[in-house]
Amino acid sequence: MVSAMVILSPDALLISLISVDPWTLVFWRGLLTACTLSVTLVCSHGKGVLREVFRMGPAGILAGFLFSASTVSFVMSIRLTTAANTLVIVAGTPLFAAILTRIFLAERVPVRTWVAVIAGFSGIIVIFSGSLSTGSALGDLLALATALIMATNFVIIRSHRKVSMIPAVVLSGILTTLLTLFMADPLSVGASDFLLLAVLGSVVMPIPLAIFTVAPKLIPAAEVSLIMLLETFLGPLWVWLVIGQRPAGETVLGGGLLVTTLVVHALVGRGRDS
C-alpha cells in the first residue's frame, strides 16, 4: 500500500499540468486505465482471461460499480465545493472502514488502528485548516459519499480474498468512460496533454488500483485506507518540487503528523505481529 501511494502521489501534479476540462480528463483516465489493465490481464492469463473475469462474480461487479461511483462522486464534489472540504471529508475513509469491518466482517480493529485513524484525520485537518471554507452542502455530501463508497469497497474486497478483483477495476474504467462520454470532449486533447494522460492512465492510476484490489486481502480495510492518507501529504509535495507551489506551514505540520502516525502504527503493528 505504501508503494501504491508513492506511485499514485504524482496524480495531483499531472492533473495540474493537464489543461483539458475535468470531464475529458476523467474520460481518458478511465479509458486508458481500463485498457492498460485489460492488456495486463490478457498477458497474465492468456486464454483463461475470460474465466478470470467471470470468477469475480457479483462481488466483483459491485466493486467495479463502486470504484466508478467513487471516481465520479469525488470529481463532482471538487466541482461543487472546495478541494479542502472534499479532502478533509474523504480523509474519514479509515474511520468508516474500521466501523464497517467491525460490523460486517466481525473483525476486531486494534486499538492502535483506532488511535492512528484519529491522529491521521487530525493531521489532515491541520493540513487544510488554513483553507477550509463553507463550501456547498451538496458537494460536502458527495465527499461523504466518496468516503463511504471507498470504505465499503475495501470491505467487499477483503471479504472475497480468494477472488482477483483486477477485472473489477477494468469494469470501473469502462463505466467511468461511459458515464463521462457525453460531458467530455475526447478529441480536444493536444499532443502534450495526451502524453501526460498516457502516463496517468498507464502507470500512475492502474498500478495503485491493482494494488488496492490485493492489499485489503492481506491487511485490514481500516489500515489500507489509513495508508491512503499518505497521498494527501505526498501530492502537494510533488506540486511544490515541480511547479514551485510552496506548501503552507499547516501542510508541513500536518504532513509530519500524518507520516509519523503511519510509521508508528506500522512499527507497533510489526511488534505485535512478531
**Average pLDDT value for residue range 146-174:** 87
Residue 97 has pLDDT above 50, yes or no: yes
What is the model's pTM? 0.75
Domain residue limits at 197: 2-273
Per-residue confidence (pLDDT) for residue 177, from 0 to 100:
93
Inter-residue contact 155 to 101 (CB < 8 Å): yes
The predicted structure's pLDDT at residue 274: 43
Q: How many CB atoms lie within 10 A of CB 53?
A: 18
pLDDT at residue 21, as a whole number: 87
Q: Which residue stretches of the chain are H helix? A: 2-8, 11-17, 22-45, 49-55, 57-80, 83-90, 93-104, 111-128, 137-159, 166-180, 191-199, 206-212, 215-218, 221-228, 230-243, 249-273
Mean pLDDT to the nearest integer, 163-176 = 89
Q: Compare 96 and 152 and report the one with higher pLDDT.
A: 152
Whether the per-residue pLDDT at 130 is higher than 70: the answer is: no
Q: Nearest to residue 166, comparing CAs of 33, 270, 74, 41?
A: 41
What pLDDT score was predicted for residue 75?
76
Higher pLDDT, 250 or 190: 190
Mean confidence (pLDDT) of the chain: 80
Domains identified in the chain, total number: 1
Please state, as a whole number, how many other Cβ atoms lie within 10 Å of the Cβ of residue 250: 15
Q: Is residue 89 pLDDT above 60, yes or no? A: yes
Over residues 96-100, the mean pLDDT reads 82
Contacts with 208 (C-beta within 8 Å, 6 or more apart), sequence order: 4, 5, 7, 8
Average pLDDT value for residue range 121-135? 63
pLDDT at 166: 86
- Across the range 245-272, mean pLDDT stands at 66
Cell 479509458 -> residue:
31
- Asked if residue 169 lies in contact with residue 213, where contact means CB atoms within 8 angstroms, the answer is yes
Nearest CA to 248 out of 233, 259, 262 is that of 233
Residue 53 pLDDT greater than 80, yes or no: yes
Cell 472502514 belongs to 97
Instruction: Provide the pLDDT for residue 127.
Output: 61
DSSP 237: H
Sign of torsion, CA 227 14 165 103? Answer: positive
Q: Which residue has the higher pLDDT, 74 or 85?
A: 74
Higher pLDDT, 64 or 161: 64
Mean pLDDT of 135-159: 83
State percent of the chain over pLDDT 70.
82
Q: What is the mean pLDDT of residues 92-98?
A: 78
With CA atoms as reference, report the closest residue to 67 among 172, 217, 216, 212.
172
Closest CA relative to residue 104, chosen from 214, 19, 221, 218: 221
